[in-house]
Structure 1
Amino acid sequence: MAVKLLLVGLGNYTHPNTRHNVGMMVLDNLAKQLNLTWTQHRPWKSHMAQIPLSFVTKSNVVDVDLILIKPRLLMNVSGTCVAKAVKELSIPASNIYVFHDDLQRSLGKLSIKTGGSANGHNGVKSVMEKLGTDAFKRVRIGIGRPEDRSPDVVADFVLNKFLPAEIATLEETVYPLIAPGQGLQTLCVRGELWRPVKEKQQKQQKQQPSPKLESVDLPSTPLDIKVQ
């Protein structure tokens, strides 16, 4: 029997390509690579796309019914859309992945966590309130933060569109981690983010302790170095 997984892209549907919409942008890219067409699903007040997938692991084959949704309501009340979809699909919180922007991380940095506070993100807060639980997974996508931390400046920052160079960064560092293949399989089967081999090696090297220098007894008299 196929496992149902729900991927939610948070954002403001009427403001495409803004930093606050990066969750929707990631799902748009995934849908494009899977050749999916978004359709408006009025009962959920969302756009949705769906596809059955099979992932071959070392021990078995995992069948997944993958559902993607983009709420049409504003970010701050998007939990209503998610709750309607979850109720109709009968999906447990552990099978829900909410993709959203994160000011605490530099552009292109991803992390995933289950449960915990909304960290000030109103979209995540709305989902928590409407589901009545925080036990869903959040894929946090770094968008950076302006040097001026005043509320008005931050609000303008997240509601403005990505610069071309920032879009290029997303295409290079973010989209591949959720792309069909190793990225999507790691997310759907293991509930984790895929890390390329090179990135894993760099992380391991950072964790290795620095080599200890052995003490050497130096001669009491200066060395006699001859230059020919």
Structure 2
Amino acid sequence: MPRLGSLRATLWLRRAMSLGVLEPRPPGKRWLVAGLGNPGLPGTRHSVGLAVLGQLAQRLGVADGWARDRRCAADLALASLGDAQLVLLRPRRLMNNNGRSVARAGELRAPEEAGREG
């Protein structure tokens, strides 16, 4: 039986997707989607963000595509949604320090952008 927290997260995600809240605007952008929480403590109110991100990754078909990125102390997965690229970020720090991972990931540049700098 699913936990109450993950059931709530699933219901929220379904509603948000049906209302078009999660559609990226404007088109052609890259979006950073961070699921905040305490790794290793699923089912708590402090880890709802991680549960929602897990559901989103499943719906986008990238749930098995997580890769550890030591630069921002997080797991990352890339997904496409329309003509936008989503960078899913699952911090590996405790909740009070998730902001550091998000800030560092926001500073990172895609490999194709790094070559444009002259």
Percent identity over paired residues: 39
The runs of 5 or more residues in structure 2 that have no matched partner are: 1-26, 111-118
Residue 41 of structure 2 corresponds to which residue in structure 1?
15
2:109 & 2:47 partners in 1: Cα distance?
25
Q: Which residue of 1 aligns with 2:67?
A: 39
Give the aligned partner of residue 98 of structure 2. Answer: 78
SS of the equivalent of 1:5 reads: strand
Residue 77 of structure 1: SS of its match in structure 2? Answer: helix
CA distance in 2, matches of 1:53, 1:35: 11
Instruction: Between the two structures, name the one with larger relative contact order (CA 8 Å, sep ≥ 6).
Output: 2
Q: Secondary structure in 2 aligned to 1:26?
A: helix
Letter in 2 for 1:34: L
Report the alpha carbon displacement of residue 53 of structure 1 after superposing the two structures with TM: 2.6
Task: Tell me the distance in 2 between the aligned counterparts of 1:35 and 1:27.
Answer: 12
Q: Compute the TM-score of the two structures, normalised by the length of structure 1.
A: 0.34
Contact 2:60 2:80 in 1 (8 A): no
1:3 equivalent in alignment to 2:29:
yes
> Any runs of at least 4 consecutive aligned residues in structure 1 with deviations exceeding 4 A, and if so which?
none
- Cα distance in 2, alignment partners of residues 41 and 15 from structure 1: 21
Task: Check if 1:65 corresponds to 2:85.
Answer: yes
Map 1:35-184; keep pairs closer than 5 Å.
35-36=61-62, 37-54=65-82, 63-89=83-109
State the Cα RMSD in Å: 1.7
Aligned AA (2:103): A
Deviation at 1:2, TM superposition (A): 2.4
Which one-letter code corresponds to 2:105 in the other structure? Answer: A
CA shift for structure 1 position 70: 1.0
Q: Deviations over 1:180-204 (max 9, x none)?
A: xxxxxxxxxxxxxxxxxxxxxxxxx
Query: TM-score, normalised on structure 2?
Result: 0.64
Look up the match of 1:126. Answer: none
Distance 2:81 2:59 in 1: 13
Query: What displacement does 1:19 show?
Result: 1.7
